[in-house]
């Protein structure tokens, strides 16, 4: 165990890639560099209000150090430890399908790459720590509401088993930040905050797209070789030379991990909300928790992002296709290093099968089946999801209650249906036609489980391992935000503790497993969010 100020940092990103030669910290174009060195902006009265104990342990930090002034100052940008080398990454990206040019870390500053007790490296990054050369017209700061959402969801996703960046700490800055929540001309002051995010790297697709778009082939080659050597070392040939085949193998690995990630999102009902190419991790992690959301009623056309409300490009049901589209842009960026299109095309063509196979395996587990027959079981699944759309149905609750349904020969049809009623927002809307369709589906489902000899006990065990009972619903986060804004930060800790064990139903936590309340149906922060931070 160590204190954060004494931790060992090995900042390979900065030592092995091209730095911005200028130290001018103002929004500007930065040619030919992978990053700019920049120091966080000190805050007025920093206060750490929440910690993720698991991340403290991951980093090998002595828990007693987390109450020290030095820890507080480091995770809020008020101090820099001797081993740190703070920087902001330069990258580009496609935003809502359009090329946006240079973007970069506009409100994130990487403190450095910390060497953990097991010898791995974790990058510590402050979100909301002040302006960088990539902030464009923004101030580089963040507010409490979005910071609570980022902190809680990062950790909730980890405990759900979804690949994600992590969050070490959440802190108030003591400063007020002006934000226009809905971009409707009504700005207001809000409490400022900083989240210390943690990941092996925050490299994303846009790190490759920008140098490729500008013809900076040396920079493209440098970031590609660095990424392969550091994070895909098993792909490096015995000769040590990274050639075109190595780049294709790297791309294939990213295709696979991205497909796997989106299968996880669909499994738990997570909607990223802003799947721009600069928001997709090269490691297949969920990254950049902005206007995300969780399906309450099952609606594949829903997006939480107000900016996307008309086109709905990033709606829940479109996430698999957007993943493939974004991967195609990454493939285009890597093409100059490969020299021919066919190998890259073959790699991305495999995305469909990878996703479909993973999706089938995921749905199999959600239904508690031990095997998956594409011809028969896909139709069973399609019919189920059609039923979820017929009346307003909570997806998370429906799958948990489906595990309670008795499917043996002695169960009557109506008795089978009874546990599912809790999942309907208004059971009175379930008319005879819908009820009869459910009865037929349950009969088919029962016959399917009997065909493989799966008893209710094994089926429920399989289902409850795949279907969480507690997810980071937006209205739950909003309750924590409201309390924290009023000075009560205990709700953040309570919600984090609930999300630590999302698959086990616990007495006394019924509130966290309930349907969206009426007050949250149209509440800003619950039904809709913006990119405002």
Q: What percent of the chain has pLDDT over 70?
A: 100
- Does 197 share its domain with 212? no
**Digit-coded pLDDT (tens) for 306-319:** 899 889 999 999 99
- Does 186 share its domain with 325? no
Task: Check residue 533 and give its pLDDT.
Answer: 58
Q: Is residue 110 part of a domain?
A: yes
- Does 407 share its domain with 355? no
H helix or E strand, kind and range, residue 322:
helix 319-338
- Does 180 share its domain with 244? no
The CA R_g of the chain, rounded to the nearest whole Å, is 24
State how far the alpha carbon of 76 is from the alpha carbons of 3, 109, 111, in Å.
16, 11, 11
- Does 270 share its domain with 344? yes
Q: Is residue 196 part of a domain?
A: yes
Strand boundaries in 180-319, DSSP class E: 188-199, 270-271, 293-294
**Digit-coded pLDDT (tens) for 454-509:** 889 999 999 999 999 999 999 999 999 999 999 999 999 999 999 999 999 999 99
Residue after which a domain boundary falls, among 297, 329, 364? 364
- Does 183 share its domain with 216? no
Report yes or no: 292 and 154 within 8 Å, Cβ to Cβ. Answer: no
DSSP secondary structure string for all residues of 34-60? SEEE-PPPP-SS-EEEEE-HHHHHHHT
Q: Is residue 444 part of a domain?
A: yes
pLDDT tier for residue 532 given thresholds of 50, 70 and 90: low
pLDDT tier for residue 217 given thresholds of 50, 70 and 90: very high
Q: Is residue 531 part of a domain?
A: no
Q: Is residue 102 part of a domain?
A: yes
Mean pLDDT of 157-184: 93
524, pLDDT greater than 90:
no
The closest of 117, 114, 115 to 125, measured between CA atoms, is 114
Mean pLDDT of 101-127: 96
Q: Clarify whether 278 is annotated catalytic.
A: yes
Residue 479 lies in domain: 474-520
219, pLDDT greater than 80:
yes
Mean pLDDT of 42-66: 97
- Does 258 share its domain with 382? no
- Does 449 share its domain with 330? no
Report yes or no: 231 and 200 within 8 Å, Cβ to Cβ. Answer: yes
Domain count along the chain: 4
Residue after which a domain boundary falls, among 364, 398, 425? 364
Residue after which a domain boundary falls, among 202, 219, 235? 202
- Does 388 share its domain with 440? yes
Q: Is residue 382 part of a domain?
A: yes
Of 240-249, 270-279, 503-512, 521-530, the one with minimum mean pLDDT is 521-530
Strand boundaries in 148-260, DSSP class E: 166-179, 188-199
* d(C-alpha 94, C-alpha 277), whole Å: 5
CB under 8 Å to 168, separation ≥6 — which residues? 51, 52, 55, 56, 59, 75, 124, 196, 197, 198
> Torsion angle of alpha carbons 286, 291, 292, 298, nearest 10°?
-150
**Digit-coded pLDDT (tens) for 14-39:** 999 999 999 999 999 999 999 999 99
Which contacts qualify for 21-28: CB closer than 8 Å, 24 or more apart? Answer: 22/133, 24/133, 25/131, 25/132, 25/133, 26/131, 26/133, 27/131, 27/133, 27/134, 27/135, 27/136, 27/137, 28/133
Task: Check residue 238 and give its pLDDT.
Answer: 94
Cα four-point dihedral sign 39, 201, 34, 276: negative
- Does 385 share its domain with 498? no
> Torsion angle of alpha carbons 20, 22, 23, 24, nearest 10°?
-120
527, pLDDT greater than 90:
no
- Does 36 share its domain with 150? yes
Q: What share of the chain is helix, strand, coil (3-state, %, to 5)?
A: 45, 15, 40
> Torsion angle of alpha carbons 523, 190, 289, 60, nearest 10°?
-130
pLDDT tier for residue 529 given thresholds of 50, 70 and 90: confident
Q: What are phi and psi of 403, to 5 degrees?
A: -70, -20
**Digit-coded pLDDT (tens) for 71-99:** 999 999 999 999 999 999 999 999 999 99
Question: Which candidate in 73, 105, 278, 394 is catalytic?
Answer: 278
Task: Check residue 242 and give its pLDDT.
Answer: 97
Cβ-based neighbour number of residue 49 at 10 Å? 19
* Per-residue 3-state assignment (H helix, E strand, C coil) for 157-170: HHHHCCCECEEEEE
Report yes or no: 29 and 102 within 8 Å, Cβ to Cβ. Answer: yes
**Digit-coded pLDDT (tens) for 282-297:** 999 999 999 999 999 9
- Does 164 share its domain with 38? yes
**Digit-coded pLDDT (tens) for 472-487:** 999 999 999 999 999 9
> Which residues lie across from 369 on neighbouring strands?
none
Task: Check residue 531 and give its pLDDT.
Answer: 73
**Digit-coded pLDDT (tens) for 385-431:** 999 999 999 999 999 999 999 988 777 878 889 999 999 999 999 99
DSSP secondary structure string for all residues of 269-285? TEE-S---GGGSBTTS-
Angle between helices 319-338 and 206-213 (to 10 degrees): 50
Average pLDDT, the chain: 95
Task: Check residue 426 and give its pLDDT.
Answer: 95
């Amino acid at each position: 165990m160590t204190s954060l100020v004494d931790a060992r940092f090995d900042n390979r990103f900065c030592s092995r890639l091209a730095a911005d030669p200028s130290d001018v910290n103002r929004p500007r174009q930065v040619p030919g560099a992978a990053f700019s060195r920049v120091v966080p902006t000190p805050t007025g009265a920093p206060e750490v209000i929440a910690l993720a104990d698991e991340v403290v342990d991951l980093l090998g930090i002595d828990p007693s150090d987390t109450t020290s002034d030095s820890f507080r100052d480091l995770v809020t940008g008020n101090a820099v430890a001797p081993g740190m080398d703070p920087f902001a990454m330069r990258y580009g990206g496609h935003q809502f399908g359009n090329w946006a040019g240079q973007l970069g870390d506009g409100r994130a500053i990487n403190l450095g790459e910390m060497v953990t007790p097991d010898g791995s490296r974790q990058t510590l990054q402050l979100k909301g720590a002040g302006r960088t050369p990539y902030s464009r017209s923004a101030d580089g700061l963040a507010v409490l509401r979005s910071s609570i959402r980022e902190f809680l969801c990062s950790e909730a996703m980890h405990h759900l088993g979804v690949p994600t960046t992590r969050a070490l700490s959440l802190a108030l800055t003591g400063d007020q930040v002006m934000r226009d929540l809905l971009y409707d001309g009504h700005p207001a002051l809000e409490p400022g905050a900083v989240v210390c995010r943690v990941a092996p790297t925050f490299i994303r697709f846009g790190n490759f797209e920008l140098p490729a778009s500008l013809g900076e082939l040396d920079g493209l080659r440098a970031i590609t070789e660095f990424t392969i050597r550091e994070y895909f070392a098993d792909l490096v040939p015995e000769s040590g030379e990274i050639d075109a085949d190595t780049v294709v193998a790297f791309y294939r690995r990213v295709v696979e991990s991205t497909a796997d990630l989106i299968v996880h999102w669909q499994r738990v009902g997570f909607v990223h909300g802003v799947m721009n190419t600069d928001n997709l991790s090269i490691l297949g992690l969920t990254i950049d928790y902005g206007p995300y959301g969780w399906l309450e009623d099952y609606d594949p056309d829903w997006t939480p992002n107000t900016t996307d409300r008309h086109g709905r490009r990033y709606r829940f049901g479109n996430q698999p296709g957007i993943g493939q589209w974004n991967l195609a842009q990454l493939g285009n960026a890597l093409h100059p290093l490969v020299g021919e299109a066919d190998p890259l095309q073959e790699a991305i063509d495999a995305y469909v099968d990878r996703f479909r196979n993973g999706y089938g395996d995921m749905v199999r587990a959600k239904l508690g089946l031990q095997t998956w027959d594409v011809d028969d079981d896909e139709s069973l699944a399609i019919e189920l999801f059609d039923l979820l759309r017929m009346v307003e149905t909570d997806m998370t609750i429906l799958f948990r209650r489906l595990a309670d349904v008795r499917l043996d020969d002695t169960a009557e049809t109506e008795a089978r249906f009874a546990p599912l009623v809790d999942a309907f927002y208004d059971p009175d809307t379930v008319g005879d036609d819908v009820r009869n369709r459910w009865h037929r589906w349950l009969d088919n489902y029962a016959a399917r489980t009997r065909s493989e000899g799966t008893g209710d006990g094994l089926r429920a065990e399989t289902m409850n391992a795949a279907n969480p009972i507690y997810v980071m619903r937006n209205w739950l986060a909003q309750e924590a935000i409201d309390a924290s804004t009023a000075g009560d930060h205990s709700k953040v800790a309570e919600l984090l503790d609930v999300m630590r064990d999302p698959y086990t139903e616990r007495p006394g936590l019924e509130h966290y497993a309930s349907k969206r309340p009426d007050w949250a149906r149209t509440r800003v922060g619950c039904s809709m969010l913006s990119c405002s931070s």
